[in-house]
């Protein structure tokens, strides 16, 4: 079952205004992923999302003008930085957005 969400504005590479009850949204391009050995990573710093370490993270791929939720590995470090991780062997980097609750 798909999740309902409201896009919170912002342009590519920008995020919505952080807040405890407002989801943080950040868009990204396929070229935004960084190669780290055998994986591609995209990181959202806690200083940007301001949600702490106990967060819910949703990742969406942009397909045309729509977004579809996708599954990727998600790592949250001790300070709350969130890292999206995908395998580099198939190079399936994508444009999309991350929503942090």
Asked if residue 78 is part of any domain, the answer here is: yes
Query: pLDDT category, 5, cuts 50, 70, 90?
Result: very low
Distances (CA, A) of 34 to 17, 28, 53, 83: 25, 12, 22, 11
What is the mean pLDDT of the segment spanning 68-74? 97
Residues 6+ apart with CB under 8 A from 93: 30, 31, 33, 40, 86
Range of the domain at 92: 24-100
Q: Which residue has the higher pLDDT, 11 or 33?
A: 33
pLDDT given for residue 21 in this prediction = 78
Minimal CA–CA distance to 84: which of 40, 49, 32?
40
DSSP characters over 66-88: EEEEE--EEEE-TT--EEEEEET
In total, how many domains does the chain have? 1
Q: What is the pLDDT of residues 35-54, one digit of tens each?
A: 999 999 999 999 999 998 99
Q: Please report whether residue 18 resides in a domain.
A: no
Q: What is the CATH number of the domain that holds 29?
A: 2.60.40
- Mean pLDDT for the chain overall: 85
Question: 17 in a domain, yes or no?
Answer: no
pLDDT at 10 over 70: no
- Sole residue written with tokens 């819910």: 56
């Amino acid at each position: 079952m798909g999740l309902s969400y409201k896009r919170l504005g912002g342009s590519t590479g920008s995020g919505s205004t952080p807040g405890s009850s407002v989801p943080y949204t950040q868009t990204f391009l396929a070229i935004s992923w960084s190669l780290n050995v055998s994986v591609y990573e995209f990181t959202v710093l806690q200083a940007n999302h301001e949600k702490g370490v106990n967060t819910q993270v949703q990742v969406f791929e942009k397909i045309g003008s729509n977004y579809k939720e996708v599954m990727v590995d998600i790592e949250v470090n001790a300070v709350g930085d969130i890292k999206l991780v995908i395998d580099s062997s198939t190079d399936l980097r994508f444009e999309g957005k991350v929503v942090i609750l």
